[in-house]
A and B are shown apart, each in its own frame.
Chain A
């Protein structure tokens, strides 16, 4: 008998090594999605066995199966509604009693269970001996011991899955004895089976489980009953009555009684199947924590870890991009080579588009080394067990601002000082169990100082705060945190006020040594997710922005003007070379090939470092065109020198014309018009339309702001003036106060496309994604207007306004720390 497809659910408590088991079973065939309607991640994978396909769904790690958290709800719903053939219950063998608490609940749900005792090696090292036969007998399930990290037991587990999938439910299963509640449970169960004989819901929902859940007061299950049975009110009323009755008679809340009996049963079963070592000392992890969570050493170690994380990924990762960038540059060079070559003043649209596209993608691909290191380091933090310690140490601080201890890592990644990235920052928010804090963290991460905001800061500071560079850099690096914390508080007090919170209660798992395979696997998997999900969308947006910047383009009568200018430049060239032998040999058609030849020659010469190399370049170019080479490399020849000067003059006119056209094109473009249309509003913040265009184009990627400013202020004839100089000359009305307002707006700038997509994935809704784009814009504009208009009205200099704003932000942060969030538990 061969089944076409076997569905296996992987269930277990957090920290039981479930993901290791999942990876061992499914290998590389993994797929990540979200459960519908919630942000809980759904990992699926598969393997083949005996010609059939076994699909494995990794349920979220939970301690229990109530309806109080989304993780527990999706696990429970999956087991109830998807009818898996087998539920593999992964449990930590070294902590059996705790993990059996979940096993017993799985058995109550009447799914065929295989109990996978994982981490047997750890248990053995601690001197714990488990009689798996005895345990299996007591529970009525197959028990498979494994040490998946060391690679032991995979085949045995697969065999057991196949056996149990074929055999179905064992009869009868072990069940918890709820003692004084048993009669009540039977009554409710009977009422249901009498009233609803033959109704379909009976087949999928086990009635004993239903009765237990109703006694626990599980509101979701009531809903389930209403949906699954017709006219169940009588039975529900009975359950309610029994519940109140039980509480009154026994003097204990039913759910407390249930949990107590379950823990007791788990204890009894584990005791009779375990031979523990006598007189357990202090666990090693606790000894480590005496140092790691120490009042003084703890924070010092935390700062060290954060510094290391930053140093290895951002600094060293950035160094690594020096080696990977040439690869990307090659892609660009290749694109240049295969697209139509540029004309004298016109760049073919297809070429312009292809280069823009490649540049946009390259800008993101360039981050891959950084991300790879970063994701690897995060995996180490996760696997080692240090993450909960981080949360433990900083929870009090973040909790004051409506955030969570587990907001620490996302904020570090987002750039708590300067130089992070919002994409991994938002990505790592998924572990925060409290929805209100999680959304708040997701929404504020993009306002931290990511790497891409830095070029604009540096540009502004170099021009307008040159005398106080250090001070200004410190200001901009720390001001983001002082704006983010009050903003988080504001969000949790307003739009997020009604969002559900969760208890902080968090296991402090024993430390584990991460494995190289586990860490690398996770790093690769997350980089791949980044490439797949982000790059595709960035590519699409790059196309849109290109269109907005390129069209409607230069009008035809202006083109006539530019063509006339081109004619003038060419005839000037011929006038200059008149009288030299070149005048007769060159035709007008030769101009374009000559210009391209000259460019190639210059490029070739730059990369030729030795004399022999130069000679080789000369020989090569001699072969292609001796006449052009004579002009390009005049040597001592007088006529050739004259022609070379004329050529350089021509190149200069051409560059000037192209720049002018580029400026005019942006000027007339849709984006340019938008920039101008926004000027009446933004001038209160001190932004003129040019700045607006730069800011608009920064939406695709923030680095673009400086590049666009570069194009807009591009007016020098020689082209070797730095952007700092050009901007300072081009914007004489621009003051340090303008620059300050612009920098502060950049701090609060909406997330880039890549981060926006991440917000969508992690918040699970387009609504929050749109909100994450709009509110920073409003906030940023408000801050910029306050600084610029307020500063102007008070006659403050840029530096004075900087100090004033810093004081204001600091005061807001301190004040926000004292406001209380809505009480959740009372």
Chain B
């Protein structure tokens, strides 16, 4: 399952990333790496992008970017 498929309110654990370089590194720097916990907070009014939280840190990303994040509930 990938992050972009999750509905607001769901919590998940990150399994792996299927992208490297620019996007991959940025996800890592923001704390999205295998093992970290994440919660989908909401979708934007036009559905995309989505907002997620890692602990007390909130960030938004496009669904197009979230599809490279493999997660498990």
Interface centre among B22, B24, B55, B57 (most CB of A within 10 A): B22
Contact of A336 with B by CB under 8 A:
no
- Proximity bits, A487-526, B CB within 8 Å = 1, else 0: 0000000000000001111111100000000000000000
- Proximity bits, A221-258, B CB within 8 Å = 1, else 0: 00000000000000000000000000000001101100
Contact of A101 with B by CB under 8 A:
yes
User: How distant is A520 from chain B, measured CB to nearest CB, in Å?
Assistant: 29
Quick check: B49 and A298 within 8 Å, CB to CB?
no
Quick check: B21 and A396 within 8 Å, CB to CB?
no
Residues of B in contact with A, size category: 35 or more
Quick check: B46 and A504 within 8 Å, CB to CB?
no
Quick check: A256 and B65 within 8 Å, CB to CB?
no
Check A507/B45 contact, CB under 8 A, given A68-B22, A502-B22: no
Chain B residues lying within 8 Å of A506, measured Cβ to Cβ, are: 59-61
Check A508/B51 contact, CB under 8 A, given A98-B57, A256-B17: yes
Check A393/B41 contact, CB under 8 A, given A256-B17, A503-B26: no
Chain A residues lying within 8 Å of B61, measured Cβ to Cβ, are: 503-506
- Proximity bits, B15-34, A CB within 8 Å = 1, else 0: 00101111111111111011
Chain A residues lying within 8 Å of B25, measured Cβ to Cβ, are: 64, 66, 68, 216, 255, 259
Check A503/B44 contact, CB under 8 A, given A64-B25, A66-B25, A68-B26: no
> How far apart sit A295 and B41, CA to CA, in the bound complex (Å)?
13
Quick check: A395 and B42 within 8 Å, CB to CB?
no
Chain A residues lying within 8 Å of B53, measured Cβ to Cβ, are: 286
Quick check: B22 and A507 within 8 Å, CB to CB?
no
Quick check: A505 and B42 within 8 Å, CB to CB?
no
Check A505/B60 contact, CB under 8 A, given A256-B28, A259-B29, A260-B33: yes
Chain B residues lying within 8 Å of A397, measured Cβ to Cβ, are: 46
Chain B residues lying within 8 Å of A702, measured Cβ to Cβ, are: none
- Proximity bits, A59-87, B CB within 8 Å = 1, else 0: 00001101010000000000000000000
Quick check: A98 and B26 within 8 Å, CB to CB?
no
Quick check: A825 and B51 within 8 Å, CB to CB?
no
- Proximity bits, A87-106, B CB within 8 Å = 1, else 0: 00000000101100100000
User: How distant is A505 from chain B, measured CB to nearest CB, in Å?
Assistant: 5
Chain B residues lying within 8 Å of A824, measured Cβ to Cβ, are: 22-23
Chain A residues lying within 8 Å of B24, measured Cβ to Cβ, are: 253, 255-256
| B67: nearest chain-A partner, CB-CB | A825
Residues of A in contact with B, size category: 35 or more
Chain B residues lying within 8 Å of A285, measured Cβ to Cβ, are: 58
> How far apart sit A217 and B46, CA to CA, in the bound complex (Å)?
37
Contact of A18 with B by CB under 8 A:
no
| B22: nearest chain-A partner, CB-CB | A68
Option from B35, B47, B59, B68 in Cβ contact (under 8 Å) with A508 = B59
| A388: nearest chain-B partner, CB-CB | B60
Quick check: A399 and B62 within 8 Å, CB to CB?
yes
Chain B residues lying within 8 Å of A296, measured Cβ to Cβ, are: 45
Complex interface residues of chain A between 258 and 302 (CB less than 8 A to chain B): 259-260, 263, 280, 283, 285-286, 289-290, 293-296, 298-299
Check A505/B27 contact, CB under 8 A, given A256-B17, A399-B62: yes
> How far apart sit A96 and B56, CA to CA, in the bound complex (Å)?
11
Contact of A410 with B by CB under 8 A:
no
User: How distant is A8 from chain B, measured CB to nearest CB, in Å?
Assistant: 25
Option from B29, B41, B68 in Cβ contact (under 8 Å) with A63 = B29
Contact of B48 with A by CB under 8 A:
yes
> How far apart sit A508 and B42, CA to CA, in the bound complex (Å)?
12
Quick check: A393 and B45 within 8 Å, CB to CB?
yes
Chain A residues lying within 8 Å of B20, measured Cβ to Cβ, are: 217, 253, 255
> How far apart sit A399 and B68, CA to CA, in the bound complex (Å)?
19
Contact of A417 with B by CB under 8 A:
no
User: How distant is B5 from chain A, measured CB to nearest CB, in Å?
Assistant: 17
Chain B residues lying within 8 Å of A290, measured Cβ to Cβ, are: 42
User: How distant is A426 from chain B, measured CB to nearest CB, in Å?
Assistant: 25
| A72: nearest chain-B partner, CB-CB | B29
Quick check: A825 and B28 within 8 Å, CB to CB?
no
Quick check: B33 and A396 within 8 Å, CB to CB?
no
> How far apart sit A285 and B59, CA to CA, in the bound complex (Å)?
12
> How far apart sit A260 and B29, CA to CA, in the bound complex (Å)?
9
Q: What are 10 pairs between A and B in contact, CB < 8 Å?
A: A95-B56, A95-B57, A256-B28, A293-B42, A393-B46, A396-B47, A502-B26, A505-B30, A505-B65, A825-B23
Binding site for B on A (CB under 8 A): 63-64, 66, 68, 95, 97-98, 101, 216-217, 252-253, 255-256, 259-260, 263, 280, 283, 285-286, 289-290, 293-296, 298-299, 388, 392-397, 399, 405, 502-509, 824-825
With A286-B58, A504-B49, A504-B61 given, name 17 new contacts (CB 8 A): A66-B25, A95-B56, A98-B57, A255-B28, A256-B28, A259-B25, A260-B34, A260-B35, A290-B42, A293-B51, A393-B46, A502-B22, A503-B26, A503-B27, A504-B62, A505-B23, A505-B27
